Amino acid sequence: MAADTIDLEGIAERARNELDAATDEAALEAWRVTHLGRKGTVTGVLRQLGELEIEERQRIGAEANQLKNELGAALDVKLAGLKAAKLAATMQEGRIDVTLPARKKRVGRLHPITQTMREIVDIFVSMGFAVAEGPEVETDYYNFEALLMDRDHPARDMQDTLYIDYDRDGTYPFMMRTHTSPNQVRFMEQHQPPVRVIVPGKCYRNEATDPTHEWMLTQVEVLAVDEGLSMADLKGTLFEFAKRLFGQKRRARFRCDYFPYVEPGVDMAIDCFICGGEGCRTCHQEGWIEIMGAGMVHPQILSNMGYDAERVTGFAAGMGMERIAMLRHGVEDIRHFYRNDLRFLEQF
């Protein structure tokens, strides 16, 4: 066999033309078999090399291998192009309207008062306070007497009371608790100082309702008793609480107020977070919003608990969740909370 019978040029030209003409994967596969397959044109040349003279063999072998590589690479390019075009076509067909509504997943929510309560409890827990709950139906002793409001104390008027129909010698010793403070006493009866506890829970007042008054309330009571606790600790604790709940920029202030079970007694206000103290509707043009009552636990109460009131001192505070939730969410009517209208509840 002679070298001049091998038309490598012709093979190359035919193969290139046919590759250009191929438009789908099947045609490309047929082309590959025709030229690069086991019995293909280029492979055929390589097979015949053994029959050639050494010089011819080297020259034609090199050219044929080069052609084989060239055609193989050209095939890969063509295949990749086809694949890309196919994917592009698929993507075009598969376009979706991403602005269609999401498939609805049921989302449940906690009541806004539960949410507020959780946040407040978390803040105090992070300050080392334990959480305790107490009964909602209380005795006169815990709700009033142990808090230095005996039967004839005028301060009882501050908390209109719902009495339970249980008559003992012509008086009604059981009532819906009017505040969470009775649990101060219950907790101290069971524990020795140091005491650091908060008491969340429902309270009840015999009050007519209006946009700012509700007869069922949720309060959190705060109590700490230890050696060396003073109003400075009370201030530090409550101011820090206010900052965490209402924002680090908040300022807070105490003013004198009266509760029979604390001495001195104060009311804590924060500067209005709507107007920053300038005066607006939320703060009734005051610039300040009162959020809780507080004070140093009356030494008589500590003595009654068997504590040494000369040695240990304590502070207490109490706040209403509804009021705080109203302030934070701009709710104008307290009665929304327990009407349980889903259109209201689902906003939180």
Partner 1 sequence: MRVSLKWLADYVDLDLSPEEIGHRLTMAGLEMEHVHRVGGDWDPELITVGEVQSVDPHPNADRLRLATVNYGGAEPQTVVCGAPNVAPGQKVVFARAGATLVDGHSGKAMVLRPAKIRGVESAGMVCSERELGLSDGHEGILVLEPDAPVGRPLAQYLGDAILDLDVTPNRPDWLSMLGVAREVAALTGNEVREPEHTYEDVDEMAPANVSVDIAASDLCFRYVASVIDGVTLGSSPAWMQERLNASGMRPINNVVDITNYVMLELGQPLHAFDFAAVKSAKIIVRRARAGEHLTTLDGAKRELTPEMLVIANENDAMALAGVMGGEDSEVTENTKTILLESATFHAPNVRRTAATLKLRSEASSRFEKGLSPELAMIASQRATKMLVEIAGGRALHGLVDCYAAPAKEVRVDVTRRRLQQVLGIDLPTSDVRNALTLLGFHVKWEPPEHYRIRVPYWRTDISIADDLAEEVARVVGYDQIPTKNLGGDVPPAEPQPLRELRERLRDALAAAGMQEVITYSLTTRESLVPVVSDGDLDGFLHVVNPLSAEHEYLRPTLRGSVLQALAQNQHQRESEIALFEAARTYVPREGELPEEREQVVGVVSGRRENRWGRASDDPVDFFDAKGYVVAALRTVGVEPEFATAESLGLLSGRTATISADGVQVGVVGEVHPDVRAAYDLDDDAFLFEVSVDELLPAVKQGVAYEPLPRYPPVVQDIAVIVDADRLVGDVQSVIEQNGLVRAVELFDVYEGEGVPASKKSLAFSITYQSSDKTLTDREVAVAQEAILKGLKTKLGAELRG
- How far apart are the C-alpha atoms of 18 and 68, rounded to whole Å? 15
Q: Give Dmax (Cα) for the chain.
A: 135
Site map 319..348 versus partner 1, x via CB under 8 A: ------------------xxxxxxx-xx--
Question: What does DSSP say about strands 262-271 and 137-139: parallel, antiparallel, or unpaired?
Answer: unpaired
Q: Which is nearer to partner 1, 11 or 252 (CB)?
A: 252
Binder to partner 1 among 47, 83, 213, 255 (CB under 8 A)? 255
- 3-state SS, 169-217, equals CCECCEEECCCCCHHHHHHHHHCCCCEEEEEEEEEECCCCCECCECCEE
Told to check if 94 binds partner 1 by CB under 8 A, we report no
Binder to partner 1 among 43, 258, 273, 275 (CB under 8 A)? 258
Told to check if 51 binds partner 1 by CB under 8 A, we report no
Q: Which is nearer to partner 1, 48 or 300 (CB)?
A: 300
How near is the Cβ of 73 to partner 1 at its closest, in Å? Answer: 46
Task: Select from 2-10, 55-63, 76-84, 191-199 the region that touches partner 1 (CB under 8 A).
Answer: 191-199
Told to check if 189 binds partner 1 by CB under 8 A, we report no
Q: Which is nearer to partner 1, 79 or 309 (CB)?
A: 309
Task: Scan residues 72-91 and list those touching partner 1 (CB under 8 A).
Answer: none
**Tokens describing residue 75:** 């095939």
Number of residues in contact with partner 1 under rule CB under 8 A: 91
Binder to partner 1 among 40, 265, 293, 318 (CB under 8 A)? 265
Told to check if 70 binds partner 1 by CB under 8 A, we report no
> Closest by alpha carbon to 261, among 202, 314, 198, 191?
314
Cα dihedral 11/17/18/22 (nearest 10):
150
Binder to partner 1 among 107, 169, 306, 330 (CB under 8 A)? 107
Told to check if 260 binds partner 1 by CB under 8 A, we report yes
Q: Which is nearer to partner 1, 18 or 233 (CB)?
A: 233
Told to check if 49 binds partner 1 by CB under 8 A, we report no
Told to check if 249 binds partner 1 by CB under 8 A, we report no
In terms of C-beta density within 10 A (0-12 exposed, 13-18 middle, 19 or more buried), how is residue 61 classed? Answer: middle
How near is the Cβ of 245 to partner 1 at its closest, in Å? Answer: 16
Contact status, residue 276 vs residue 185, Cβ threshold 8 Å: no
Q: Which is nearer to partner 1, 6 or 266 (CB)?
A: 266
- How far apart are the C-alpha atoms of 10 and 31, rounded to whole Å? 16
Task: Select from 14-22, 28-36, 57-65, 298-306 the region that touches partner 1 (CB under 8 A).
Answer: 298-306
Contact status, residue 322 vs residue 113, Cβ threshold 8 Å: yes
Contact status, residue 320 vs residue 296, Cβ threshold 8 Å: no
Q: Which is nearer to partner 1, 66 or 206 (CB)?
A: 206
> Closest by alpha carbon to 255, among 224, 274, 231, 285?
231
- How far apart are the C-alpha atoms of 280 and 278, rounded to whole Å? 7
Q: Output b/e per residue, 127-148; b: 16+ Cβ within 10 A.
A: bebeebebeeebbbebbbbbbb
> Closest by alpha carbon to 222, among 161, 295, 158, 171?
295
Task: Scan residues 124-183 and list those touching partner 1 (CB under 8 A).
Answer: 127-128, 130-133, 135-139, 151-155, 157-158, 161-166, 172, 174, 176
How near is the Cβ of 11 to partner 1 at its closest, in Å? Answer: 55
Task: Scan residues 203-242 and list those touching partner 1 (CB under 8 A).
Answer: 204, 206-208, 215-216, 224, 226-233, 235-237, 239-240
How near is the Cβ of 21 to partner 1 at its closest, in Å? Answer: 48
